[in-house]
Amino acid sequence: MRHRVLGGTGMEVSPYCLGTMMFGHVGNADHDDCARIVHAALDEGINFVDTADMYSAGESETVVGKALKGRRDDVVLATKFHFPMGEGPNRGGNSRRWIVRAVEDSLRRLGTEWIDLYQVHRPDHTTDIEETLSALTDLVRQGKIRAFGCSTFPADEIVEAHHVADRRGLHRFRTEQPPYSLLARGVEKHVLPVTQRLGMGTLTWSPLASGFLTGRYRKGRAMDLSSGRPTLHPGRFDPAAPLTAAKLEAVEQLVAVAEDLGCTLPELATAFPLAHPAVTSVIIGPRTMEQLRATLKGASVALDDAALDRIDAIVPPGTDVYPPDGVWNPPALTTPALRRRSAGERSAA
């Protein structure tokens, strides 16, 4: 695999990044099997591994740490913080108080002295972005992390963070990690142009659209909901739901594109994000060795303009067939009080 420079950091990473969300009790609870997957990925040329403290409540980081013993220097290791890691307040978020605790916990679980890329897993409107950037800058200066980035941030939040870093003389976000797939192209509107303009590295997640681009789920066919993502979110796989029907309809058309190219749907799906000039690396998250091998075959698929034009006709650029799972919604949309005047103000008007 040809390596790409990650967001001007000088660190060179493979075009595919091994995501480990499925390592641990949520996915694959066999630590030895997970280690074999890690080693197989490294042997195939992947040198980029991404995890997070909240994956299986820290178990994923522990698995990754054990798997990388003896090979740590060969890997660009990324992890993330933000989501709650225990009961009670101040056990998550983007505050300095939590960051300095979270990084020590991740270093311990990963069994390493440094993290190459430390990422803010989601925005946190209860914490001033300067507070977050200042704490992360201190970690770089202390040598505990080499660089930091963000994940699933909207374009305006990325721009604001860069402005704050410039004004305050702080280190800036070097990377962004957005959801991006054949079925979820919304980030093409604003996020990818912004990361490209700011010289950030972009590592995209969910290229298989939570399993809908694996080929397992097809229109008019019985769907096995007994394993994988359907067990976590069964409602998202209900064939009677309008969003599910829209996904399955698009899948049928994309299968035809893959067949004409002589590849499988998963191979087409993992090749597609890399065709965008803003994308540095695509995160693949296998649960089994078979899934890893099937996904990596996408590295040999080259998409020409004719193929990309056909994809554009099925899912237009910048559009989402469905809202990507796990995407962040700003409080202005989720908290009614932030978008409604008080009853007194409304009556006075």
More confident residue, 227 or 102: 102
What pLDDT, in 10s, does the model give residues 7-16?
999 999 999 9
Q: What pLDDT does 232 receive?
A: 66
CATH number assigned to the domain covering 4-348? 3.20.20.100
* Residue 55 appears among annotated catalytic residues: yes
Catalytic residue among 16, 55, 118, 322: 55
Q: What pLDDT does 346 receive? A: 64
> What is the pLDDT, as a whole number, of residue 166?
98
> Percent of the chain at pLDDT above 70?
97
Query: What integer pLDDT is reported at residue 227 of this predicted model?
Result: 66
pLDDT value of position 329: 87
The stretch 2-23 carries a mean pLDDT of: 96
Using a 10 angstrom Cβ sphere, with 0-12 exposed, 13-18 middle and 19 or more buried, the burial of residue 199 is exposed
Return the SS3 of 263: coil
Which of 29-33, 87-91, 120-124 shows the lowest per-residue confidence on average (mean pLDDT)?
Answer: 87-91
Residue 81 in this model has a pLDDT that exceeds 90: yes
Q: Does residue 65 have a pLDDT over 70?
A: yes
Q: What pLDDT shows up at residue 252?
A: 97
Q: Is the pLDDT of residue 226 over 90?
A: no
Q: What is the pLDDT of residue 349?
A: 64
Tokens of 39: 């080693």
The answer to whether the Cα torsion of 303, 304, 306, 309 is positive or negative is: positive
Q: What pLDDT is recorded for position 23?
A: 97
**Confidence band for 224, pLDDT divided at 50, 70 and 90:** confident
Q: Model confidence at 99, in pLDDT bands (50, 70, 90)? A: very high
The pLDDT > 90 percentage for the chain reads: 80
What average pLDDT is seen over the chain? 94
- Residue 98 CB-density burial (10 A; 0-12 exposed, 13-18 middle, 19+ buried): buried
Reported as a single tens digit per residue, the pLDDT across 132-154 is: 999 999 999 999 999 999 999 99
Provide Rg for the chain, Cα atoms: 20
pLDDT at 328: 86
Structure tokens at 226: 């007994």
pLDDT digits (tens, 9 = 90+) for 261-302: 999 999 999 999 999 999 999 999 999 999 999 888 888 898
The 10 Å CB-count burial string (b at 16+, else e) for 295-329 is bbebbebebeeebeebbeebbeeeebbbebeebbe
Q: What is the mean pLDDT of residues 61-87?
A: 97
How buried is 130 (Cβ within 10 angstroms: 0-12 exposed, 13-18 middle, 19+ buried)?
middle
Q: Return the ∠ at Cα 76 (arms to 72 and 77), rounded to 5°.
A: 75
Q: Residue 228's pLDDT is what?
A: 65
> Of 78, 26, 35, 32, which Cα lies nearest the Cα of 56?
26
227, 28 Cβ separation under 8 angstroms: no
Strands 145-151 and 175-177: parallel
**Model confidence at 38: pLDDT above 80:** yes
Predicted local confidence at residue 198, as pLDDT: 98
Lowest mean pLDDT among 61-75, 79-93, 234-248: 234-248
